[in-house]
Amino acid sequence: MSSFTGLRPLVYLLVLGSSWGLYFSLIKIAERSGISYVGILTLTTVGVGIGMSAIALLRRRKPGFSPRHHLFYLVCALTGYLCPMIIELWVIGHMPAGVMTLIVSMAPLATLLIAWMMKSDNIDLARVAGVVLGAFAIFVVLMPEVHSSEAVAWRWLLLTVLVPVCYAIHHNYAARFWPTESDSYQVACGEALYASLLMIVIAAFHWQAQDLQSWNQGHSAIVVMALISLVDIWLYFELIRLKGPIFTSHANYFMVASGLLWGMVIFGERPSALIWLSVLLLVVSLYLVSSYKKNRAIQ
């Protein structure tokens, strides 16, 4: 039992990165069914909010709702959902998908820098090497697509950089300002509720009627995403609590690799040798990042 306890954060991280990667395929299925991007995100997020609320009622431990809790949930929802989504929607028509994926996947590098600035996590040479090696692993697998893409205006590149910065702020803010006496489920529920409210506001201005027309394969994909997210959001905050923002941010690297592998399973896509090389490098980078033992988990 003790051996599993030691491996638990690693298992959580791999599950989190794998399920994040699965979202790419599920979103593709939903989009092919005629559901808009805003509709997909809104239906999924609201579904997660409802599911988390049901879990809170079953556990009889609702989220805290003091002013400090409200601020925490709002900042997390803004940096983890609303701001990245708005930026991605804004630039998606001006940038190849490979370039955007490469920039967004650099969240661990931004997390490392902000962790150093905020002193929200401990940094040593091994962890720095692990994050840099992970970035190189993603660069290796995405570089051919990026190289073949057309030139992108600097303003769109700079705007896209704000996405990994938002995620990095989210990682470090959650670790640094974790609400006292709140467990991972309570924090996850509070953020999900705020994210749902924000997405409903966005949908009020961008909703498309076909998003709620007759049930199709896309709606089934959304249900699967919502169910997976019920686990993911808890895994994310549990990793923040146990291992800190730098270790948790490594899921962003595995998200890219697993997204390519899920594409192979679901759509019959064939990964190149570069993908397997990337996976190998990610394993080594994860070993380096996980070599540091966090002194104390958040209570």
8 A C-beta contact, residue 174 and residue 240? yes
Decide if 48 is inside a domain.
yes
Amino acid at 264: M
User: Residue 43 is part of which domain span?
Assistant: 12-289
Decide if 176 is inside a domain.
yes
Instruction: Tell me: pLDDT of 177 over 70.
Output: yes
Q: What is the pLDDT of residues 257-294, one digit of tens each?
A: 787 777 777 777 666 677 777 778 888 888 888 766 55
Confidence of residue 296 (pLDDT cuts 50, 70, 90): very low
**Distance separating alpha carbons of residues 254 and 46, to the nearest angstrom:** 26
Q: Could you tell me how many residues make up the chain?
A: 299
Q: What's the whole-number mean pLDDT along residues 199-212?
A: 77
Decide if 274 is inside a domain.
yes
Decide if 3 is inside a domain.
no
The tokens describing 73, both together, are 């949930």
- Can you say whether the dihedral through the CA atoms of 111, 112, 115, 120 is positive or negative? positive
Decide if 254 is inside a domain.
yes
Q: What are phi and psi of 129, to 5 degrees?
A: -60, -40
Decide if 297 is inside a domain.
no
pLDDT value of residue 37: 81
Q: For the chain, how many structural domains are there in total? A: 1
Confidence of residue 5 (pLDDT cuts 50, 70, 90): low
Q: How far is CA 19 from the centre of its chain?
A: 10
* H/E run at residue 82: none
Q: What is the pLDDT of residues 82-109, one digit of tens each?
A: 888 888 778 876 777 667 777 888 889 9
pLDDT value of residue 295: 43
Decide if 235 is inside a domain.
yes
Nearest CA among 72, 73, 107 for reference residue 88 = 107
Decide if 141 is inside a domain.
yes
